[in-house]
């Protein structure tokens, strides 16, 4: 749910429709000018995310959005948002009163804005693409050295969350004739989550121990943890009422940076494969290592719960475990 919310955050303004006849012109960031429908961007410190929303999405439309080296499509995240039907069905199942009704109205107004109608039952298809922010910047700079688009006078506006909406605005307008319209990031995270609560898949919220959980009957208040390059923690009391109550600089970029420094591997999927072969108990101290079996029973805590990460590496007599090697 969080990843979709993160990627949906800038869907709340309309992007200009462009003729799809030129889709195949160039598998590069130029596709931002040429994809049909409504586009939303989030250009963060580590990843850039694109959502393509259309009424009738031809097969492979998301694959055409090759934003730069290493672009990935996420078909498992794709879903169809149906105009009024899910709204009516979910509100029959979960009546909204007070702030609950405002949440439903927030999700409703977003979909109405995209459908251009207050009562549409049409289907809006949402597809997702991501690429490393550094790769996207590199691809745009390469285009600037290879192409001249002075003849393309029409500028396409794309609402963009994240720091890249400000940092790359001038370059995108010059090279791609794309105007990045900055959108407040935390507001967009909340709006995207409320959109998903009304129109996302039924099992969207989360899964734990192979069990899927539905959205709660009472949504507000809740704590929202937004994990990106860093982490922000929000208390949300309503669609327009939220406060950032904390955060940490230790986020996704921390994992990628430390992993590259320790292993020389910078690809996330490869790092996940290596991690699956590792043994955290060789370097982390668990509650059982500190309290013993009897102490864990007295505490009522599992013995394998991590108490201190990397703690076993701090002992003077401890041997460093052999690192896993790439296959």
39, two tokens: 């586009």
Q: Which residues are registered as beta bridge partners of 209?
A: none
What number of H helices and E strands is found in the chain? 11, 14
Q: How many CA atoms lie within 13 A of 94 on its CB side?
A: 18
Only one residue has tokens 């709204």, namely: 87
The 3-state DSSP class for residue 190 equals helix
Only one residue has tokens 């909406």, namely: 165
Q: Which residues are registered as beta bridge partners of 234?
A: 224, 244
Query: SS3 for 170-222, per residue?
Result: HHHHHHHCEEEEECCHHHHHHHHHHHHHHHCCCCCCEEECCEEECCCCCCCCE
For residue 77, the 8-state DSSP code is G
299, two tokens: 């505490």
228, two tokens: 């990106």
Identify whether 202 is a catalytic site residue.
no
266, two tokens: 């910078």
34, 137, 185, 204: which is the annotated catalytic residue?
A: 185
What CA–CA distance (Å, rounded) separates 280 from 277? 10
Q: Nearest-CA neighbor of 227 among 189, 196, 199, 279?
A: 189
**Active site (catalytic) residues:** 185
């Amino acid at each position: 749910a969080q990843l979709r919310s993160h990627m949906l955050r800038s869907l709340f303004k309309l992007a200009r429709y462009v003729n799809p006849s030129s889709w195949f012109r160039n598998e590069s960031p130029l596709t931002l000018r040429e994809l049909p429908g409504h586009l939303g961007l989030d250009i963060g410190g580590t990843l850039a995310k694109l959502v393509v929303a259309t009424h009738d999405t031809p097969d492979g439309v998301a694959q055409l959005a090759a934003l730069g080296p290493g672009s990935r499509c996420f078909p498992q995240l794709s879903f169809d948002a149906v105009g009024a039907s899910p709204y009516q069905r979910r509100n029959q199942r979960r009546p909204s009163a007070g702030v609950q009704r405002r949440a439903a109205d927030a999700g409703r107004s977003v979909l109405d804005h995209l459908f251009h109608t207050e009562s549409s039952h049409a289907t809006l298809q949402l597809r997702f693409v991501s690429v490393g922010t550094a790769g996207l910047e590199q691809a745009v700079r390469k285009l600037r050295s290879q192409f001249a688009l002075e003849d393309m006078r029409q500028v396409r506006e794309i609402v963009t969350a994240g720091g890249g909406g400000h940092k790359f605005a001038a370059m995108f307008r010059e090279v791609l004739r794309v105007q990045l319209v900055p959108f407040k990031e935390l507001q967009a995270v909340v709006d995207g989550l409320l959109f998903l609560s009304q129109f996302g898949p039924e099992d969207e919220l989360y899964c734990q121990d192979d069990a899927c959980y539905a959205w709660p009957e009472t949504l507000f208040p809740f704590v929202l943890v937004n994990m990106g390059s860093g982490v922000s923690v929000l208390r949300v009391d309503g669609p327009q009422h939220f406060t950032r109550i904390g955060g940490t600089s230790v986020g996704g970029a921390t994992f990628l940076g430390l992993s590259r420094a320790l292993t020389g591997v910078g690809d996330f999927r490869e790092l996940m494969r290596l991690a699956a072969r590792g043994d955290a108990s060789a370097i982390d101290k668990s509650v059982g290592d500190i309290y013993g079996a009897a102490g864990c029973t007295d505490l009522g805590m599992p013995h394998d719960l991590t108490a201190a990460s990397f703690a076993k590496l701090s002992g003077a007599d401890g041997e460093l475990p052999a690192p896993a090697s790439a296959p």
